[in-house]
Amino acid sequence: MGKSNGKSDVEVQKAGLDLEHEFPSADERDPDVAQSSSSAVESSTAGTELQKLKSERDALLDRLARAQAEFENARRRAAKEQQDYRDFATADAIKSLLPVIDSFERALQVKSDPGDFRSGVELIYKQLQDALAKLGVRPIPAKGEPFDPHYHEAVEMVETTDAPDHEVIDELQRGYKFKDRLLRPAMVRVAKNPG
């Protein structure tokens, strides 16, 4: 048998190789087959490189979509924070107007004033209430309502049988809400049934 592919017969037999069915070496092949084989390797390399580029592109597109979503979320958060800031700033402005409303209410309770003065004060009071209502300020209902510690501040408990237990019988100072936020609780007297 002699040498085949640089190996001695003993090495071939020890390895258990079948020399008769062994593939020919690259230099023994047909030159056309060798050339098509090399172009197949180049084509395979180009294919894997194309796959690699496609996967990189897909990864970059995914990152871009995520970055755009994060940007949109950040923009929405900033807009919400700005709206919250405006709401709190408006609430502070409204709080400064509440004493004026209190003064108007006291003036309206006086019966001895001339009719013209009273009608003027009533008009101003109505205009101010309308302006506050447009801003989102609403009075908290109190008299005749059950006592709610979230919206009412009890100043006095009055023993009476004329009203159910824990019902607001008198409103000393009106409370107000701005949208869903409490600006000021209503100061009230609350009924307490004896016994």
Residue 90: its pLDDT value, please?
83
- Mean residue pLDDT across the chain: 80
- pLDDT for 105 beyond 90: no
Domain boundaries, the chain: 139-195
Residue 14: its pLDDT value, please?
55
Q: Can you tell me the distance from the alpha carbon of 55 to that of 62, in angstroms, rounded to the nearest whole number? A: 10
pLDDT digit string, tens, across residues 134-178: 888 899 999 999 999 999 999 999 888 888 889 999 999 999 998
Written as one letter, the residue type at 58 is D
CATH of 139-195, one of 3.90.1150.10, 2.30.22.10, 3.40.1120.10, 3.30.360.10: 2.30.22.10
**Per-residue pLDDT band at 91 (split at 50, 70, 90):** confident
How would you write 118-147 as a 3-class SS string? HHHHHHHHHHHHHHHHHHCEEEECCCCCEC
